[in-house]
Amino acid sequence: MAKKQLDSFKKYFNKTKSPRRNSIQEIVREPTAGGVIFRRNQNNEVEILLIQDAKSRWTIPKGHIEEGETAQETARREIGEEAGLKDVEIISWLGKIHFRYRRIDKLVLMTTQVYLVKALGNTDKIKKEDWMNDIKWFSFSDALDAIEYEDIGKLILLAMKKIRQGKL
């Protein structure tokens, strides 16, 4: 192809090509922690607390681990902040979940430590943060149906097994 034709083609192509997303410039690691929170209702049935995020996906309360904080401390703090539940008992560690997503030109690698947490005291006094669409208690099976993330669903199954084994 002659140089003139090639230059003309490049000029045309650069004008008409669709806009591309910025390439990944940085990889960011974000450690987080949260919990599968449960209670027993008046009929002694297990209920699981879920929050509905801004994208209408049901998930568990969780948040970023702050400097000097352990994962357990973060889970307890985030449950208090996101659900209004201050009187909780961390029963055991359930596992670790890995998420990754893109934030403009960054690849975010999020690792979430998840704990089995028993809500104590008045568990009806839950609160919804402004950024949430909803927060509510679900029966165990309804929680499994509602949850959007397969890995969290697996940890809810593990939580139920531990609840039954420990007769919690």
Predicted local distance difference test score (pLDDT) of residue 137: 97
Confirm if 159 and 116 have CB atoms less than 8 A apart: yes
Euclidean distance between CA atoms 126 and 138, whole angstroms: 13
Take residue 105 and report the two structure tokens written for it: 């030109």
Domains of the chain listed by start with CATH number:
24-166 (3.90.79.10)
- List Cβ neighbours of 107 (8 Å cut-off, separation of 6 or more): 24, 26, 27, 28, 100, 101
Euclidean distance between CA atoms 151 and 154, whole angstroms: 5
pLDDT tens digit sequence for 82-133: 999 999 999 999 999 998 888 888 888 889 999 999 999 999 989 888 889 9
What does pTM read for this prediction?
0.82
Q: Looking at the predicted structure, is the pLDDT value of residue 6 above 90?
A: no
pLDDT tens digit sequence for 13-26: 555 444 556 787 88
Euclidean distance between CA atoms 94 and 68, whole angstroms: 22
